[in-house]
Amino acid sequence: MWKLTFARTVAAIPVIVLVALVAFILFRFVPVQAPAAILGDGATPEAVARLTAEMGLDRPAPVLFFEWVGNALRGDFGRSYVTGLEVSAEIAHRMPITLTLALGGIFIAVLLGVPTGVIAALNRNSFIDRALTGIVSVLLAMPGFWLALLLVLFFAVQMRWLPAAGYTPPSAGIWPWIRGFILPCLALGLGATANIARHTRSSMLAQLDSQYARALTARGCPRGRLVMRYCLKNAMMPVLAIIGMLTALMLSGSFVIEKVFSVPGLGSLILDSINRGDTPVLQAVVVVVAVFIIAVNLIVDIGYGLLDPKVRPE
Partner 1 sequence: MLKQAIDCAKYTVAASCIAIACFGTAAQAEPNGTLRWGIGFEPQGWNPQLPPNTTYTQLVYEGLMRMAPDGTTIEPALATEWTVTPTDITFKLRDDVVFHDGTPFNADAVIANIENVQAASNRWREAIGGIDKVVKVDDHTVRFDLLRPSPSLPFTLTQRGLNMISPKALADGIWEREPVGTGPYVFNQSQTVSGSTYVFDYFADYYDPESVGPERVELSYLPDSASRYNALLAGQVDAVDGDPTQMPTAESQGFSNHVWSTLRYHLLMFDRAGALGDVRVRKALCMAMPLEHINAARYEGLLKFPAQRFDEADPAHVPGLKAYEYDIEGAKALLAEAGVTDLSLQFPSPDFMRIISELTKESFGMIGVDAEIVMMPTPEYFQSFYTGRYPFIVNTMTPENGGMFNYYPFRFAADGPANTFKVEPPARLEELYQLALEAPEEEQPALLQEMTQIIHDEALDCGYFDTAGVVHYNSETIAEIATTTWEPSALRYKDVKMAE
**Does 60 sit near partner 1 (CB under 8 A)?**
no
At what angle are helices 144-151 and 174-208 packed, to 10 degrees?
A: 130
> Minimum CB separation from partner 1 for residue 40, in Å?
5
- The region of 2-10, 122-130, 131-139, 148-156 touching partner 1 under the rule CB under 8 A is 148-156
**Does 32 sit near partner 1 (CB under 8 A)?**
yes
**Does 169 sit near partner 1 (CB under 8 A)?**
yes
**Does 167 sit near partner 1 (CB under 8 A)?**
yes
**Does 151 sit near partner 1 (CB under 8 A)?**
no
The single residue among 102, 136, 250, 269 that binds partner 1, judged by CB under 8 A, is 269
**Does 262 sit near partner 1 (CB under 8 A)?**
yes
**Does 157 sit near partner 1 (CB under 8 A)?**
yes
> Minimum CB separation from partner 1 for residue 145, in Å?
9
The single residue among 60, 74, 141, 160 that binds partner 1, judged by CB under 8 A, is 160
The single residue among 9, 126, 137, 275 that binds partner 1, judged by CB under 8 A, is 275
- Contact mark string toward partner 1, 96..135, x via CB under 8 A: ----------------------------------------
Residues 173-212 that bind partner 1 (CB under 8 A): none
The single residue among 47, 135, 206, 291 that binds partner 1, judged by CB under 8 A, is 47
CA 128 to each of CA 116, 117, 139, 191: distance values in angstroms, whole numbers, following the listed order: 10, 11, 16, 20
> Minimum CB separation from partner 1 for residue 163, in Å?
6
Binding-site ranges for partner 1 (CB under 8 A): 31-32, 36-45, 47, 50-51, 54, 80, 82-85, 90, 93-94, 149, 152-153, 156-157, 160, 163-169, 259-265, 268-269, 272, 275-277
